Structure 1
């Protein structure tokens, strides 16, 4: 790694010339609110230290941002009128809050008074120069760095105080490999049939909950967890699949899709992964039930299809009357033994 401290003016010039990419496929979108953008700009004006920006050198000698997209985008948006050829009118409308081609209008700042309603066009020249020549620490991963190194850097950076979900981090990290696994996983998770079968809340769905559960099925359908940490287990499976150490074949993808198709037909409101109480399914999505039901159907797909959706639904309902179900989904269910127990029980239960 190399470390240097360019000015924001230098970085923006590199961005404008196409030498720095701030939205590689594995990065999340620009999400900062005007309040957050204003706070960052205020920090630069006050010379308050800010976190470094991590860049990765690409094979062609250009660079991509692997951490610091929000800060970089904030500066590009503030100087948008100078960067982009097409003219855009500043607006406080929420629809343009994260459009980097629309120049920022600052919000009320925590320390400096008078920034509210200010844009690049109305900020005093002395303060504009202060922003331009503010320095930022840049940590550069040279192009000789391995994909493994980039994967670990991105994952560790974004696991500390992040608002990203664990699956968003996995998906972003996996894109550092020259692999389409993350795209395939994303496509399966976005499939309407898969989402119907899972019945996730809007919050869970928006943070890649569907993709995480597809990955969970791939993981438990092909591996045994080495520890009780489900997150470490899913990280490792994502890493192996993206890195090419695990072959996620077309046949396996088809089998997973057909598993969710069968479950969506049998339980079209996500009931398969909710507890059955008082003669009805109720409550939130249960990952523990997912391990039993999804893995059980996946491992017995041919038998389940032959029995039909009504038989599968009845088998799901009957599952809740079993003492084994309570044992494996109740208190202390996150041990390695119980995780493996759920998969084994599901395989046995849906073998009919």
Structure 2
């Protein structure tokens, strides 16, 4: 097959429509339930009040912004796949138009409120229009409120005839380049375009108190799905059928895609084995200390050795033996050649897995 044939084949997997629409129409679609923001996307709305104000200011000043990307679902509704921050900002600004909105009154706006789209926003001073400070949709001059409602925004719609893989690639590529989202957050959302079962199971497993306690990650890391990422890393290192080609990040992307397509099942037996492994680690060395190198913070390199080693030897391990072997590992010469510069090369990554399996045997 020639490169021309190859390009034509895959180009036909993506069916799109381009048009412009007013914010008033988008607000109406959302109110009617025809515009959907998946809860897993909505939780990623993180613009602070300055950023939200600047976007409202941009609309008022007719400053162009990139198109919104929507995907038509089988039920005929349109789902947001890119443009979450902008759509959420406008929805929040006009939140009083929707049933169930929460009026915060004159109370001080905390972080939860400023990212809850059911709570109307009060603008702060804009970068250009400083006098926007304190205005809400209800108090803004009618002329300006109408300017926002009737401002036009470009939309690229992925029609339902597009294949799941094509939609997956659109979301993945839009959010991979210059995205403020964490890698695992992107994986979680993009994978759902291929299937919900594995992402849901991974999230449920990541909520296990013993796993959270054992990893000892910061609150910020947990919020950015750090627990899910470590579990995905463990599962990929044990079960992936792919060899590391480039970066570990891409390796994990591939496994998340592989699992979301149903090619790997997070079975009850595997989940039980994972929990049992972390229970043993936490019993012997609690609060994340099992994954820290001396005075340093969390080490993914040490995690590779410890987590995979315990997982593969869990039937014969005791907390006492594990604690002794971990201390010898951190203080010994075997680990040093497999960490540091170039630690994510295939040779060193494979070396860490083999060391863990032998070390905790």
| 1:125-144 paired onto structure 2 within 5 Å | 125-144=142-161
Count of aligned pairs between the two proteins:
343
3-state SS of 2:70 partner:
strand
Match of 2:295 among 276, 279, 282: 282
Q: Tell me by how many angstroms 1:27 deviates.
A: 4.6
**Counterparts in 2 of 1:316 and 1:58: CA distance versus 1, 3 Å:** same
Deviates most, 251-260 or 98-107: 98-107
3-state SS of 1:102 partner:
coil
CA distance in 1, matches of 2:233, 2:101: 45
| 1:328-339 paired onto structure 2 within 5 Å | 328-339=338-349
How much is the aligned-residue C-alpha RMSD, in angstroms?
Answer: 1.8
The 8 Å contact of residues 22 and 152 in structure 2, kept in 1 or not, is answered as yes
**Counterparts in 2 of 1:329 and 1:104: CA distance versus 1, 3 Å:** same
Residue deviations 1:275-295 (CA, integer Å, cap 9, x gap): 2xxxxx432111111111111
Alignment partner of 1:159 is 2:176: yes
| 1:40-55 paired onto structure 2 within 5 Å | 40-55=55-70
Residue deviations 1:63-108 (CA, integer Å, cap 9, x gap): 1111112211111122222233667354452242223233221110
The 8 Å contact of residues 53 and 67 in structure 1, kept in 2 or not, is answered as yes
3-state SS of 2:310 partner:
helix
**Counterparts in 2 of 1:215 and 1:85: CA distance versus 1, 3 Å:** closer
CA distance in 1, matches of 2:255, 2:199: 12
CA distance in 2, matches of 1:89, 1:325: 54
**Could you tell me which residue of structure 2 aligns to residue 28 of structure 1?**
43
CA distance in 1, matches of 2:303, 2:285: 13
The 8 Å contact of residues 195 and 262 in structure 2, kept in 1 or not, is answered as no
Q: Tell me by how many angstroms 1:341 deviates.
A: 0.7
The 8 Å contact of residues 194 and 257 in structure 2, kept in 1 or not, is answered as no
3-state SS of 1:302 partner:
coil
Match of 1:340 among 343, 350, 354: 350
Deviates most, 335-344 or 321-330: 321-330
CA distance in 2, matches of 1:187, 1:50: 37
CA distance in 2, matches of 1:83, 1:215: 38
Q: Tell me by how many angstroms 1:153 deviates.
A: 1.6
Deviates most, 29-38 or 206-215: 29-38
The 8 Å contact of residues 100 and 118 in structure 2, kept in 1 or not, is answered as no
Deviates most, 112-121 or 227-236: 112-121
**Could you tell me which residue of structure 1 aligns to residue 191 of structure 2?**
174
Match of 2:140 among 123, 127, 131: 123
Match of 1:10 among 17, 25, 31: 25
**Could you tell me which residue of structure 1 aligns to residue 315 of structure 2?**
302
CA distance in 2, matches of 1:49, 1:86: 29
CA distance in 2, matches of 1:234, 1:260: 21
CA distance in 2, matches of 1:4, 1:46: 21
3-state SS of 1:210 partner:
helix
**Counterparts in 2 of 1:230 and 1:27: CA distance versus 1, 3 Å:** farther
Deviates most, 209-218 or 23-32: 23-32
Match of 2:283 among 261, 265, 285: 265
Using the size of structure 2 for normalisation, the TM-score is: 0.90
3-state SS of 1:4 partner:
strand
The 8 Å contact of residues 158 and 169 in structure 1, kept in 2 or not, is answered as yes
Alignment partner of 1:215 is 2:232: yes
**Counterparts in 2 of 1:303 and 1:6: CA distance versus 1, 3 Å:** same
Q: Tell me by how many angstroms 1:161 deviates.
A: 2.1
Residue deviations 1:5-31 (CA, integer Å, cap 9, x gap): 001111111111111012443453432
**Could you tell me which residue of structure 1 aligns to residue 125 of structure 2?**
108
CA distance in 2, matches of 1:248, 1:85: 37
The 8 Å contact of residues 196 and 268 in structure 1, kept in 2 or not, is answered as yes
3-state SS of 1:324 partner:
coil
Residue deviations 1:168-215 (CA, integer Å, cap 9, x gap): 111111222333211211122221111222122233222211111110
